[in-house]
Amino acid sequence: MSAATILLIANILSLVGNVIATSAAFLKSKRNILLFQSSNHVLEIIAQTMTEAYSGVTQEVISLVRNVSLVFIKSAKKAPKLIISVVCLVAGLVAGVLFNVYFSNNVLYGYLPVVAGAVYGVFVILAFLLDLDSLNSELLIKIGIIFNAVCWSVYGVFIRLYPVMIFNGVAFVLAAVSIVRIFIAKKKKAQPTEEPSRQTPPDPPTEE
């Protein structure tokens, strides 16, 4: 199989995965957001392996493990999810750096997915583990999506997976729109409800 054919197949897989991931920007449930993104991680692992973008592959694997753990661990206690999330965060940093150094010639752009995965991981952990209402929880994840999208969009240019670049750009815009919507909803929620005005009864007529 020629290099051009491999690159074409990788771009098709990346395209399908990013269409799924981008649609997550329309979702409100943090569980559904992570499930959609997990599907993208699987396809990106295959695509980026085909293009030898190994630092990106490590982040996709770590993100997949973290997301699946947060979604499917049914324990009411926060400790198991916290431990798994922190382990994934540290593993992503260490593995991403090592793979970039030893398998990708220590290129600077190879650290973009490492930073993206670490920062996004922190926001996801906070969204799941803090006692936040639905709006603030969604806000944290959407902020993480924005930072993640910027890093991966630039990385997509360097590894020649252009769906990564395009759809992360779209994800950035959609997440930004969602953040504006969240702030509008929070502002409306914070406004006090006006009580109906009480009309004072008219004064009784005076006798002349």
* Position 195 in a domain: no
* Position 147 in a domain: yes
* Position 204 in a domain: no
Q: Could you give the percent of the chain with pLDDT greater than 70?
A: 89
Average pLDDT over residues 127-142: 81
End-to-end Cα, the chain, rounded Å: 109
Q: Which of these, 38, 42, 16, lies nearest to 27 by C-alpha position?
A: 38
pLDDT at 12: 94
* Position 202 in a domain: no
CA distance 196 to 119: 47
pLDDT band at 193 (very low <50, low <70, confident <90, very high): low
Asked whether the predicted pLDDT for residue 204 surpasses 70, the reply is no
**Please, which contacts does 99-106 make with residues 24 or more away whose CB atoms are closer than 8 Å?**
99/54, 99/55, 99/57, 99/58, 100/54, 100/55, 103/52, 103/54, 103/55, 104/52, 104/53, 104/54, 104/55
What is the CB neighbour count within 10 angstroms for residue 138?
22
Number of structural domains (the chain) is: 1
Of 38-42, 71-75, 137-141, 167-171, which range is least confident? 71-75
Asked whether the predicted pLDDT for residue 186 surpasses 70, the reply is yes
- Report whether 174 contacts 22 (CB < 8 A): yes
pLDDT at 86: 83
What value does the mean pLDDT of the chain take? 84
pLDDT tens digits, 74-97: 665 667 777 887 888 889 899 999
Q: Which phi and psi angles does 109 have, rounded to 5°?
A: -65, -15
Residues spanned by the domain of 77? 3-190
* Position 205 in a domain: no
pLDDT tens digits, 163-182: 989 988 888 998 899 899 98
pLDDT band at 208 (very low <50, low <70, confident <90, very high): very low
